[in-house]
Amino acid sequence: MSEKKLCIVVPYRDRVTHLKEFAPYIKKTMEDQKITYDLLVVEQTFSKPFNRAKLLNVGFDYTKGSYDYYCFHDVDMLPVESDYSYCSNPTHLAARVEQFEWALPYNGYFGGVTIFDRESFQTINGYANEYWGWGAEDDDVFHRCNTKEVQVSRKNCSFRSLSHERKIDRELYDKNIQLLRSSVTNQSFEDGLKNLSYELLSSKKTKLFTRIKVEI
């Protein structure tokens, strides 16, 4: 078994069928790769637009950063060819994804499935908390790594996509793009783990994962 312990953090809301397929699939993948891991599902309430980045910060904070490394993993991506072994620097895994026709949607894509070692994630202050709705939070974290001179890597892994309806709120998306541009210009990364706030509503452990529900 691997000496390094992994926490797979899944940002989640209203994807029951996906989670039912994802959790046992990941279990088998981890067993095949002989990786010691825990699966943490971080569920957001419906009071606000979905915030993937903040939920990932919550997952890190909830575990008190106690794992050697973290994999931030969308629930609709199932590994086909993968390597979840320990990485000593931020490493992107979703290089070839079915929904993107088995290619990168753009060269700097750093979303979907990404591994962070504990120290690097703390160095960049995690993800920004204010990306509501869809888009740009992974570009922001990629920029944080580059600005902080934290080396990033990519493994040539492939993932099957689980189908779902994608609704993009254009107003929120435009705000996210503006926020990203401001982040790139100002290079201020005070928003993140250091000022994270949330309310833990429930925690439940099952055979396959721990599921927490939070108000953010």
Average confidence score pLDDT of the chain: 95
> What is the pLDDT averaged over residues 201-211?
98
**Each residue of 136-193: pLDDT tens digit?**
999 999 999 999 999 999 999 999 999 877 778 899 999 999 999 999 998 888 999 9
**Please, is 212 exposed, middle or buried when counting C-beta atoms within 10 Å of its C-beta (0-12, 13-18, 19+)?**
buried
Q: How far apart are CA 35 and CA 175, in angstroms?
A: 39
- Domain range enclosing 135: 5-215
**Each residue of 44-92: pLDDT tens digit?**
999 999 999 999 999 999 999 999 999 999 999 999 999 999 999 999 9
- CATH code of the domain in which 29 resides: 3.90.550.10
Cα 125–Cα 130–Cα 184 angle in degrees, nearest 5: 65
Domain count, the chain: 1
User: How sure is the predictor about 2, in pLDDT bands with cuts at 50, 70 and 90?
Assistant: low
**Each residue of 103-136: pLDDT tens digit?**
999 999 999 999 999 999 999 999 999 999 988 9
